[in-house]
Amino acid sequence: MATLRASIEVPGRAHMNDKTSAVRVRFAPSPTGYLHLGGARTALFNWLFARGQGGTMILRVEDTDAERNKPELVGGILDGLEWLGVGWDEGPFYQSGRTELYRAAAKKCLANGAAFLCYCPAEKYVGGDHEEESSEGPQLRRVTRCACRQGRPATPGGKPAVRFKVPLGGTTRFLDAVFGEREFSNDEIEDFVLLRSGKDDQEFGQSMYQLGVVVDDIDMRITHVIRGADHLSNTPKQVLLYRALGAEPPVFAHVPLILGPDKSRLSKRHGATDVNMYRAEGFLPEAFRNFLALLGWSPGGDEEFLRTKDLLRKFSLEGVSRTNAVFDRPKLEWFNTQYLQKLPIQELLPEVENELKRSGLWKPEWAAPGADGRDHAWLSKTVDLLRPRIRLLPDFSSWSRAFFSDEFTRDAAAKEKFWTDPRVPELLGRLADRLEALAEWNHDACDHASRAVAEAGGVKAGLLINATRVAIVGQAVAPPLFDTMVVLGQQRVVSRLRDAVASFAKA
RNA sequence: GGCCCGGUAGAGUAACUGGUUAACUCGUCACCCUUUCAAGGUGAAGAUUACGGGUUCGAUUCCCGUCCGGGCUACCA
């Protein structure tokens, strides 16, 4: 993966007291689903933070739940990250392969009294926050402690799970770079499970989330935990674990969640939430990144069109908001059109090439400047002409098909709109003759010839121009006609005009 | 239910540690440009800063309450 730049001094924030250690962050997806927008945004923030300060980005797959885990989903998540341009320096590490590490940590907690063996079957566990029947219907009671923590199992027998022994009374506090100082009462925290009970001949089962994250974050020397705000309430548990394992907690930075247009949690019913679907739709990764970065973060100024290098330079945890953001697709599309228009043409060309290859329209001679470079120059000019009207990459092969192939059809609605005048066939025929006779093929020559034909025929130039557009590109909407003619070339324009005239005869 | 976090125009955000016409971007509407449609240009509408109290000479900024939204409350992550 990307080479790690030499560690430089961490700008750091005084109150966080970062010593001199370089920044180390991680993105830790769970393969229970695809890479969704929220996850992608979290990955992006971690990446921006790490790359912006010469730190290290680690990728860790949290697959400790054998039941819900779907290994085949990992590939899609990695693909999504790659498309997003979010690379990592270490990993991917898989928690499923680090089981011994977690068991050792759990045993350490058992040994130093920070954890206990709980023999309660999961359904019978008496601790926690269970629902209970009352005169007013089902009620949830406060956290209670199980007798197992005193070594007096309420329901002896069976295999025990390891639970963390949360201190009675007192508070647990930590620093969050986004939400500030946080303090939680220990009495609100249940004795959470560290290790599942073992099956068959196993002493213990797989690690639970809380143990896995903490052990790995310590082991991987993570300095900043940047993740979704849905983990804010779990953080005190983790801080307790850090202490029990004799480690200092990192700086936490919880970023607000991304909600759907109805302000409810973003889910499949809100449409595309899988980043790979945006790639498939033809968004440019950099535009997508720019849009995503602005969800829950602001550079402070008025500029919103921020290329990746700008994001890298400006990103900071201080700019992260505490308010959940709503995903707004129209704005994403706006960003895409902006990038389509403003990107240096040489940066856009590879994307267009991929698109044309995907649709089978690509011609090898268009590839990078060859012998005389004329074909490549033609492609470059054509894409440049087309791009102000393109919204998504696939538009290059659908909407602008006639620019790259002679096999195209004329849009019925376009004919309906611009071919209704009975004089059109004759005008198009005369224009074909006139253009064919042209010695010079350029914008002005096409312009003069067309206007002359219109004038001679006693019609407004617009009538001929619009009809001609439909004839040569098959669309009612296209780039300015004379520029289009230049790009298509004399022979092609003439033959398409005659083909159009012929189509009238048939009809 | 308990605990926690939020609440600035339809959306994303800004407004130095409270200071006076609440700013920018997307979207919407209008006009200009014009050869279609975009883009671009100009302008407009849209916010009693969720609501109600309080502190203060002064609050979007501080405090309390209410309402609304979200999160956590699993041998999920």
The distance (Å) linking the CA of A256 with the C1' of B46 is 27
Q: What is the mean pLDDT of residues A80-104?
A: 97
CA of A321 to C1' of B70 (A): 14
> DSSP letters of A143-169?
PB--GGGGT--SS-SSPPEEEE-PPSS
Per-residue pLDDT tens over the stretch A380-398: 999 999 999 999 999 999 9
Name the DSSP class of A22: P
Model confidence pLDDT, tens digit, residues A329-356: 999 999 999 999 999 999 999 999 999 9
Considering only CA atoms, which of A169, A201, A174, A205 is closest in space to residue A185? Answer: A169
- From CA A399, how far away is CA A91, in angstroms rounded? 42
b/e map of A400-426 (b: 16 or more CB within 10 Å)?
A: bbbbbeeebebbeebbeebbeeeebbe
pLDDT tier, A18 (very low <50, low <70, confident <90, very high otherwise): very low
Window A385-444, strand B contacts by Cβ < 7 Å:
388-389
Examine the residue annotation and report whether A124 is marked as an active-site residue of this protein: no
A479 contact to strand B (CB, 7 A limit): yes
Task: Provide the token pair at A323.
Answer: 């308010």
Calculate what percentage of chain A has a pLDDT beyond 70.
92
Q: Residue A410's pLDDT band (boundaries 50, 70, 90)?
A: very high
Where does the pLDDT of residue A180 fall: very low under 50, low under 70, confident under 90, or very high at 90 and above?
A: very high
Q: In this structure, are strands A90-94 and A56-61 parallel, antiparallel, or unpaired?
A: parallel
Q: Tell if A209 CB is < 7 Å from nucleic strand B.
A: yes
Question: Is the CB of residue A110 less than 8 Å from the CB of residue A158?
Answer: no
Per-residue pLDDT band for A301 (boundaries 50, 70, 90) equals: confident
Q: What pLDDT, in 10s, does the model give residues A223-254?
A: 999 999 999 999 999 999 999 999 999 999 99
Q: So what's the pLDDT on residue A227?
A: 97
Most confident of A130-134, A138-142, A153-157, A207-211: A207-211
**Using the CA of A207, which nucleotide's C1' is the nearest one?**
B75
pLDDT tens-place string over residues A33-49:
999 999 999 999 999 99
Residue A257 pLDDT > 80? yes
Instruction: Strand B: list positions under 7 Å from protein Cβ.
Output: 1-8, 10-15, 23-27, 35-40, 69-77
ipTM over 0.85: yes
Does A24 have pLDDT greater than 60? yes
pLDDT of residue A240: 98
Average pLDDT over residues A114-134: 78
